[in-house]
């Protein structure tokens, strides 16, 4: 059974569940939080609070906004705030996912491991057993107030991730139009 679960928090998420039974369901929590611009520590603390709430409501997956680790409008701070994946913030959220027994999708500026001059707008997927994978935004808007190509390199490949809750595919914001 495949379900399109909507366009929560700037992502389009597909979950294909294992088996055909209608009894098999995935409980998804959407946390459209207000992120503190430039403060990874505060944003992780806020995410942890919402992860605990989601777990109390039996969620198996919680989804946070695009660039929720740092806030969206960080402009030139991006070079100071970007991290590799996995990296320190990913590791912090891995510990929370393991403790709470939940899958997490969150957004962050990802610093390329090959060249530190390249940064991606990335959605990271973590499960109770650790890091699962990442998706790099493929279509970067450059109209109106958006200037993402100024800061980010585009991703090139969509991914589907096998998890305990089913197969998960991720798209970020503007990607859904293509």
Q: Report all structural domains of the chain as residue ranges with CATH numbers, in order of start.
A: 2-177 (3.60.110.10)
Among 40, 46, 134, 137, the one annotated catalytic: 137
Known catalytic membership, residue 83: no
- Quote the pLDDT of residue 176: 85
Among 35, 40, 66, 94, the one annotated catalytic: 66
- The pTM of the full predicted model, rounded to 2 decimals, is 0.87
Q: CA–CA separation, 62 vs 84, rounded Å? A: 22
Q: What is the pLDDT along the chain (178 residues), one digit of tens a residue?
A: 334 444 444 555 566 666 544 446 788 999 999 999 999 999 999 999 999 999 999 999 999 999 999 998 878 888 899 999 999 999 999 999 999 999 999 999 999 988 878 999 999 999 999 999 999 999 998 888 778 888 899 999 998 999 999 999 999 998 888 8
DSSP string of 13-80? EEEEPSSS-TT----EEE--PPP-TT-HHHHHHHHHHHHHHHHHTT-SEEE--TTTTT-S--GGGHHH
- Structure-token pair, residue 151: 């800061």
Known catalytic membership, residue 173: yes
pLDDT digits (tens, 9 = 90+) for 50-89: 999 999 999 999 999 999 999 988 788 888 999 999 999 9
Task: Order the strands of the 61-63 sheet from edge to edge.
Answer: 28-30, 61-63, 103-111, 119-127, 130-136
Contact between 64 and 51 under an 8 Å Cβ cutoff? The reply is no
Burial class (CB within 10 angstroms; exposed 0-12, middle 13-18, buried 19+) of 152: buried
Known catalytic membership, residue 35: no
């Amino acid at each position: 059974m495949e379900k399109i679960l909507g366009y929560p928090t700037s992502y389009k998420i597909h979950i294909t569940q294992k088996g055909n039974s209608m009894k098999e369901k995935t409980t998804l929590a959407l946390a459209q939080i207000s992120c503190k611009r430039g403060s990874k520590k505060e944003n992780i603390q806020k995410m942890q609070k919402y992860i605990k709430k989601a777990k109390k409501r039996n969620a198996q997956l919680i989804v946070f906004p695009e660039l929720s680790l740092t806030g969206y409008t960080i402009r030139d701070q991006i070079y100071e705030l970007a991290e590799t994946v996995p990296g320190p913030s990913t590791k912090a959220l891995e510990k929370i996912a393991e403790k709470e027994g939940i899958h997490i999708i969150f957004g962050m500026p990802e610093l390329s491991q090959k060249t530190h001059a390249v940064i991606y707008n990335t959605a990271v997927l973590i499960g109770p057993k650790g890091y699962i994978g990442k998706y790099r935004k493929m279509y970067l808007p450059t109209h109106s107030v958006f200037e993402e190509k100024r800061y980010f390199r585009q991703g090139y490949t969509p991914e589907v991730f096998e998890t305990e809750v089913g197969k998960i595919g991720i798209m970020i914001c503007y990607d859904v139009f293509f």
